[in-house]
Amino acid sequence: MNRFADRDHQVSFLAEQLVEIEQRLIPTGLHVFGRAAELKEKADLLRMVASFERPEHGARALPALVADALGLDPDVLSEEPNNETKELIDGMVADAISRFCEKEAAHAAGWLNSKASVKVEDSLQTFKLLEKISEQLDLNHEIESLMRALRGEYIEPGPGADIVQNPFVLPTGRNTHAVNPYSVPSRTAFDRAQFTADALLRRYLDEHGRYPRAMALVLWGLDNIKTQGEGVAQALWLLGVRPIRDALNRATEVEEIPLDELQRPRIDVVMTVSGIFRDLFTPTMALLDKAVRRVAGLDEPPEMNYVRRNVSESVESGTADFDDAVARVFSNAPGNYGTNVNFMVMQSAWENEAALGDLFVTRKCFAYTRDSKGRTVEGHEAPELMNDALARVEATYQNIDSFEVGITDVDHYFEYLGGISKAVEKRSQSRPSIYLSDSLSPQTKIRSLEETVRLETRTKTLNPKWYEGMLKHGFRGVAEIENHVANTFGWSATADAVDPWIYTEISKTFLLDEEMFNRLHKLNPHSLQSLAKRLLEAHDRGYWNPDEEVLEKLREIIFQLENKVSVA
C-alpha cells in the first residue's frame, strides 16, 4: 500500500470511530426512583424507539420511511464514515421527534411530509405508537407500587426488556414476568442469532484464518428473557442445530442443519450459565445439553464437526467416558449464584491473576447434563470436565443486548466474561480472543473486548456528558464514577484488556485537574479516595506505568483523604 493509500485508510478508520462514538446512546444520569423521564431524555428514547421497524404495531422505522420517500437505497442508513445522507436523515428524524414532543403526532407527521414528502398516513402510524409510549413515560407508579409491595399487595406484572427492545415494558413500577422457557428461543431470536453468530465467526476467521477449536459462551437469565433467547439461539446455531417444536409448540428437541447447508464446521461451545438462567430456564438447559450430545453423535468428518472431534479426543485419551466428555453446560451448585470473582477484585483480595480464573471454575464447575442411563444430572461438581472443555477454547463471547447497561457499568460482565477468559488462559495456555456483540443496534456489530473497553471509556467514563450527568446526583454520582473505574480495572485483572492511556486519562480528568478534584472531594471524599487507590493498584499490579510524579501525587491524595475519611 502506498503512503497516501495508507493515510486515507487511517483517516477513514478514524472517521468511522468518531461516528461510532458520536452515535452511541449513553445514559446521562441515574434513574431517580419515582420520577418520570424529563423532556430531553424522553425525546432521545423516542428517537431510538422510532429507529427500529415495528411490524407488530404496523409502525415503520422513521429513518427508513424518510429514505424511502426520498427515493434512497436503504443502505444509506448504514453507519459508514462521512455518511452525510444518513446524517441528514437522522437530523430530520430528530427534528420531527422534537416537534412531536412539543406538539402532537399530526403536527410531526405534517412536518415530515413537508420536509421529506413522507406520506402522512405512513408516519402517523409510527407517531401514534410514540404517543402511547410517551403517555406511559409520563406516568410513574414506582413509589406507589413499592408501598403496595411492602404491604404485601398484588403488583401487576409486565414484560422484562429494555424500552427500545419492547416499549411495552412501560409503565415502570410493575413486577417483571419471565417468559415460558419452552418458547425459547423464539423464531425471531433464532433468525437474529444466525446473523450475530455468523458475524462472530467471520470476525474470528478474519483474525485467525480458521475457525476456533471451541468457544466459551456466557448466558444470562434476564438477557434471554429480554430477547426471547437470543443467546441460547446463538449457541444452537454455532453447534449447527435448530430447535424443533412439539405438538404443544414447545422447543424440546433439536435437529441438525446439514453441513452442506451450514457451509462451515460445527463449533464446540462451552456454556457457562448464571444461577438465574439455571433457575428460569430448566428445560432450556436440557435442550442445550441435548444439542451437544446430538452433534457429538453425528457421523461426520472430524474437521467439520469440532464437537465430535473434541469429545472423541477426551474419550480416547481416557480423560472421560462419552457421557462425561460431552458435558458443556456448566453453572453454580444448585441454589448458588455468582462467581465471586467481582468481590475478589473489588476487595483487592487476590495474589495473582490465575487465582481469579481458578475461583471462576470452583464456583461454576457444576455440570447440568445426563448420565449413561439418560437420567438428568442437575449440578454435578465436575472441575475436571470443565477444565478439559476449557483447555480447547480459543475464543470467549457474551451477547450484549441492551443499551442501558454496558461492560463498565456493573461488575458482572468482568466477573463472568473476564472470569471465564482468565480460566481459559491458564487451561489452554493461551489467552483467548474475547468478543462481545452489540446485538441491539439495527446493524449487529461484533467487537473485541479491547475495542469495547475503549468505546465504553470514551463514551462514558471520560465523556463530560456522562460524568456531568452523574455529578448532578452528588454523592451517588461520584460513587458511580468510581464504580466505572473499578469495573474498568476488573478488565485489566481478568483479561488484560485496558490500554494504559485509559488510566492516564482517568487520573488527569478526576484527580490531577484541581477544579474537578475539589468538586469530587466536596461531594464524596470516600469514593474519591477509592478511585485514587484503584489507580495506584493498577500501577502496582503492572497495568499502568505513569511518571513517578503522578504516583507521588496519587499517594499524597490517598494520604490526605485518609485523614479526612477517618475523621469524618
Footprint on this chain of ligand BEZ (rule: CB under 6 A): 220-222, 274, 276-277, 412
Q: Which is nearer to Mg ion, 146 or 354 (CB)?
A: 354
Give the residue with the Cβ less far from ligand BEZ, 396 or 507: 396
Residue nearest to Mg ion (CB): 496
**Quick one: what does residue 407 bind among Mg ion, ligand BEZ, none, with the CB cut-off 5 to 8 Å set by partner type?**
none
With CA atoms as reference, report the closest residue to 545 among 508, 495, 483, 501. Answer: 501
For ligand BEZ, the closer of residues 293 and 412 by Cβ is: 412
Pick 414 or 467: Cβ nearer ligand BEZ: 414
Nearer to ligand BEZ, 231 or 477 (CB): 231
Residues near 410 by beta carbon (within 8 Å), at least 6 away in sequence: 487
Give me the amino acid identity at 381.
E
Closer CB to ligand BEZ, 221 or 265, in the complex: 221
The answer to whether 496 contacts Mg ion (rule: CB under 5 A) is yes
220 binds, among ligand BEZ, Mg ion, none (CB under 5 to 8 A by kind): ligand BEZ
Question: Shortest approach of ligand BEZ to residue 279 CB, angstroms?
Answer: 9
Least Å distance between CB 490 and Mg ion? 13
Residue 496: contacted member of ligand BEZ, Mg ion, none (CB under 5 to 8 Å, by partner type): Mg ion
Residue among 196 and 494 whose Cβ is closer to Mg ion: 494
Work out whether 438 is an interface residue with Mg ion (CB under 5 A). no
Q: Say how many residues touch Mg ion, by CB under 5 A.
A: 1
The least CB distance from residue 343 to Mg ion, in Å, is: 21
Give me the least distance between CB of 416 and Mg ion, in Å please: 19
Sheet holding 376-381, edge to edge: 376-381, 366-370, 329-331, 268-273, 214-219, 395-400, 433-438, 445-448
Nearer of residues 279 and 505 to ligand BEZ, judged by Cβ: 279
358 contact, one of Mg ion, ligand BEZ, none, CB 5-8 Å limit per kind: none
- Indicate the DSSP class of residue 247: T
Q: Using alpha carbons, list the distances in angstroms from residue 239 to 194, 260, 424.
A: 11, 14, 20
What distance in Å separates the CA atoms of residue 513 and residue 553, rounded to the nearest whole number?
Answer: 12
Which of 269, 411, 408, 426 lies closest to 357, judged by CA? 426
Q: What does 221 interact with, of Mg ion, ligand BEZ, none (CB < 5 to 8 A by kind)?
A: ligand BEZ
For the bound state, the minimum distance from the C-beta of residue 252 to ligand BEZ, rounded and expressed in Å, comes to 22
Residue 330 interacting partner from Mg ion, ligand BEZ, none (CB closer than 5 to 8 Å by kind): none
DSSP codes, 117-173: ---HHHHHHHHHHHHHHHHHHH---HHHHHHHHHTT----EEE-S-TTT-GGG-SSS
What is the CA 135 to chain-centroid distance, rounded?
A: 29
Question: Among residues 266 and 412, whose Cβ is nearest to ligand BEZ?
Answer: 412
For the CB of residue 188, give the shortest distance to Mg ion in the complex, in Å. 40
- Per residue, the 3-state secondary structure of 274-315, as one string, reads CHHHHHHCHHHHHHHHHHHHHHHCCCCCHHHEHHHHHHHHHH
C-alpha cell read off for 24? 452511541
The string over 103-125, giving b where at least 16 C-beta atoms fall within 10 Å of a residue's C-beta and e elsewhere, is: eebeebbbbbbeebebebebbbb
229 binds, among ligand BEZ, Mg ion, none (CB under 5 to 8 A by kind): none
Q: Which residues contact residue 279 at a Cβ distance below 8 angstroms, ignoring those fewer than 6 apart?
A: 221
- Only segment of 71-79, 284-292, 488-496, 522-530 that touches Mg ion (CB under 5 A): 488-496
The amino acid at residue 17 is Q
Q: How far is the CB of 4 from ligand BEZ (least distance, A)?
A: 49
Report what 466 binds from ligand BEZ, Mg ion, none; CB cut-off 5-8 Å by kind.
Answer: none
The CB density around residue 91, as the number of other CB atoms within 10 Å, is: 10
How many Å apart are CA 391 and CA 426, to the nearest integer?
8
Comparing CA positions, the residue from 482, 340, 365 lying closest to residue 418 is: 340
Query: Where do contacts with Mg ion occur on this chain (CB under 5 A)?
Result: 496
